[in-house]
Amino acid sequence: MLFDVTGPGGATIHEVAGADSPLLETACNLFEAIFPDEGRYLPYLRACALGQNPSHPNTYDHVWLVKQDGEWAGVRVFSYITSRSFGHGAYIGLKSNHRGRGLGNWLVGQTLAQLDEDARKFGKQGAIGYLVEVERPMDAYNEEEREYRRKRLEFHRRCGGIVLPISYTEPVMIEDIHYLDPANLQGEEPRAMHLVFIPSKLGASLPHLDLADLVHGTYVDVYRLQPDHEFIRKSLSFLKEIVYDRNNEI
C-alpha cells in the first residue's frame, strides 16, 4: 500500500517490512511501552514483520508504526487471512498523549483499506472486514481493569464493530510456531473473549454473515488449530443453539 493519506494531526503510517527493517526495534520498543504486560509476544511482532512467515502459512501479516507530531505515536499489527475474505486484528495501540485525537478510528479505516488491497492481491473481490479479540469486562479482576476493557470494547463498537453472538476462547498462541519456545508462555491460559467483527463497506452490504466461516478462519487459519479442536466444537455448538432457538421462534 502506498501511504499517501495523512491522518489526524499530520499522522503518517510507516510499514515495518522485514527482519532487517531499521524500524523493527522501534516497533518492538513502542509495543513494550504501550502493552507492558504483553512483552512475551514480541517474537510474534517480529515474525509478522516478515509479511509471509513460514509459521503463519495462511496469513499475510503487517506491522505498522504511526508517527504524529514528529514522534512515534502508535503500533498496529494485523493480518489478511489468505484462505478467506477477511482479516485478523492482533494489536492496535497508541501512546497516552496521542489518544483521543482521532488516530484510532483513522487506523481502523486504513486497516480496512489495506485488507481490501490484500484481498485483491490474493484473487478476491475485496475484504469483508476483520476480526478482533476483546477482553470481556465481566472477567476483569478489579474496577480499573473493568473500565479499561469497557472502553476498549466501546472503541471497537464506535468503529462499527459487531460483537458476535458466539462462545469464543482465545488460544494462548498459534500452534506449531518455530520462533517461540513454549517455556516463554508458561503459566499462560486460554481466555474467554468477545470476538468482534469490524465490517468493511463490502462486509456491511452483505445480507448476513457466515459465522461458522469467521470461526474457522480465526481458529484454523490464524491459530492453526485442528478442525475438531474443542474450542471450535464449542463455538459451532453455540451457533447451532442460536439457529435452533430462532427456528423455534418462527
- The reply to whether 213 falls in a domain is yes
Tell if the pTM clears 0.95, that is, is over it: no
User: Which residue range forms the structural domain that includes residue 126?
Assistant: 8-249
DSSP state of 221: I
* Tens-digit pLDDT string for the chain (250 aa): 545 678 999 999 999 999 999 999 999 999 999 999 888 899 999 999 999 999 999 999 999 999 999 999 999 999 999 999 999 999 999 999 999 989 999 999 999 999 999 999 999 999 999 999 999 999 999 999 999 999 999 999 999 999 999 999 999 999 999 998 888 888 889 999 999 999 999 999 998 889 999 999 999 999 999 999 999 999 988 775 544 344 444 3
For the chain, how many structural domains are there in total?
1
- The reply to whether 77 falls in a domain is yes
Give the residue from 58, 42, 61 showing the smallest Cα distance to 185. Answer: 42
CATH code, domain with 31: 3.40.630.30
Cβ–Cβ < 8 Å for 59, 73: no
- The reply to whether 3 falls in a domain is no
> C-alpha angle 166/148/134, rounded to 5°?
25
- The reply to whether 48 falls in a domain is yes
- The reply to whether 2 falls in a domain is no
- The reply to whether 1 falls in a domain is no
Strand, coil or helix: 244: helix
